[in-house]
Amino acid sequence: MAKFSPVPGTADIFPEESAGYKRIENCGAEIFSRYGYGELRTPIFEYTEVFQRGLGDQTEVVQKEMYTFEDRGGRSLTLRPEGTAGVMRALLNTDVMNGVEQRVFYHGPMFRGERPSAGRRRQFHQIGVENVGKIAPELDAECIAMLSHFLEEIGLTDVTIKINTRGIMSDRVESGNALRKYFSEHIDDMCDDCKNRLEKNIWRILDCKQDNCRKIIADAPDYLQFFSDESKKYFETVCKTLDMLKIKYEIDPLLVRGLDYYVHTVFELSHHSLGEQIAIAGGGRYELYLPGQNRPLQGVGFAAGIERLMMVQEILGVPKVQADAEDKIFLVGLGDEARIANIELAGILRKKGLKVALEVEPKSMKAQMRSANNFGAAKVIIRGLDELNAGTAAVKNMENGEQQVVSYNDLINNL
């Protein structure tokens, strides 16, 4: 390990890569705002109970992956492993509990103690939304459609959308019993995780990825038959609304999702370039309990992993649009007087909103032009003592190589 490398599963994000995060965040903000969402920023850590109660004690994330520590007063705190629980805690301070709808989006770092691998980090970044306070299948469909719209806008094509229904809690009794009966007959041939899930969370068996287990899962009873008519109708309406919105999706009865708060609609998005195991986004409708609350908060939302979105963008060759390239100016100064005068000119142009770079140390013309190229300047302004005395400057257009002499005043007013 190099002496000063970051902790495995975390990364330093240098300016060029930061720009990629910014583009995705800005695009999300733009698209989500068209659907009435506003940005909510919540703290990066919360009281541990918020996640224990919010995500469910038996959730793998809570059991194995949280970064939990004590503050000086002995309170247990946890770095957020996901955004939903903290957002719900914040929204409790609004009137969502009285059925007033809230639409918020968020982005920022999340923390999970997972084994790092390609596309799996311990500090990663999500961009997500939550629509809280109202229950309607059309809202679930709108949420999936908005996610699809956002992904299109950032250049992601051929995204696979899988959806399923988890019904409501009461639907899971009879269906869960049927699954338990079936799996307990085959459990000796299943993996240790599944053995554990048989006791603790029977539904998670359905998304086990082990080959042996998958063969057994393929013949599991159709649990949907035990769901109430209301739940089935809810899901049908989600599908119909998606059809109307021309969103392509696949229904996957084995999709249960890793967090325990989901009810009704769940969905997960993947891209063939990363494989099915590495979801680029996921979400669904949920009922989330917070400490001290005996009524859950109801909502629908999703989160996408920004690093994974960027991996797909890279593979698809989505151009890194240099939206600001035309504002970039490089100042070349020949001789000490021009070099110093350029420091003043840079200040004036930057205040006008232009992106300006220059060499503050004495450098040859050739070296300065090299810097201008590295900077990606659209125009280079060249001045020496003659230009300073005459009150002029040479302006070189870097795209076509044309150069013209303009007066200093014109330069300042017209750039």
Binding site for ligand HAM (CB under 6 A): 82-84, 112, 114, 119-121, 124, 126, 128, 130, 258-259, 279-284, 286, 301-305, 307-308
Q: How far is the CB of 288 from ligand HAM (least distance, A)?
A: 9
Positions of E strands within 190-327: 250-251, 262-271, 281-288, 297-305
Cβ proximity to ligand HAM, 35 vs 408, nearer residue: 35
Question: Which amino acid is present at 77?
Answer: L
In contact, 102 and 91? CB cutoff 8 Å: yes
What's 133's DSSP letter? S
Tokens 């013209």: give the residue: 404
For 253, phi and psi rounded to 5 degrees?
-65, -15
| Closer CB to ligand HAM, 306 or 372, in the complex | 306
Q: Which is nearer to ligand HAM, 159 or 406 (CB)?
A: 159
Kindly state the smallest distance separating residue 210's Cβ from ligand HAM, in Å.
Answer: 20
Kindly state the smallest distance separating residue 309's Cβ from ligand HAM, in Å.
Answer: 8
What tokens were used for 376?
A: 């990606």
Tokens standing for residue 152 = 């299109």
For 63, 104, 293, the CA distances from 93, given in Å and listed in that order, are 28, 14, 13
- CB nearer to ligand HAM: give 32 or 302: 302
Residue 60 CA: distances (Å) to CA of 114, 181, 213, 345? 11, 23, 19, 58
> In angstroms, what is the minimal distance from the CB of 347 to ligand HAM?
42
Q: Where are the alpha helices (DSSP H) in 72-191?
A: 84-91, 137-153, 172-186
Comparison of 276 and 410: residue with beta carbon closer to ligand HAM: 276
In the complex, the smallest distance separating the C-beta of residue 154 from ligand HAM, rounded to whole angstroms, is: 13
Cβ distance 265 to 242 under 8 Å? no
**250-251 β-sheet, strand order:** 38-39, 102-111, 123-132, 297-305, 281-288, 262-271, 159-165, 250-251
Q: State the pairing for strand pair 328-333/379-383.
A: parallel
Whichever of 287 and 327 has its CB closer to ligand HAM, that residue is 287
- Least distance to ligand HAM, CB of residue 99, Å: 19
Q: Which is nearer to ligand HAM, 260 or 359 (CB)?
A: 260
Residue closer to ligand HAM, measured from CB, 84 or 313 = 84
Q: How far is the CB of 234 from ligand HAM (least distance, A)?
A: 17
Of the two residues 49 and 114, which places its CB atom closer to ligand HAM in the complex?
A: 114
Least CB distance to ligand HAM at residue 283 (A): 4
Q: Which two tokens stand for residue 111?
A: 């923390």
> How many residues can be counted in the chain?
415
| Least distance in angstroms from the C-beta of 351 to ligand HAM | 40
Residue number, nearest CB to ligand HAM: 305
**Kind of pairing between the strands at 76-79 and 68-70:** antiparallel
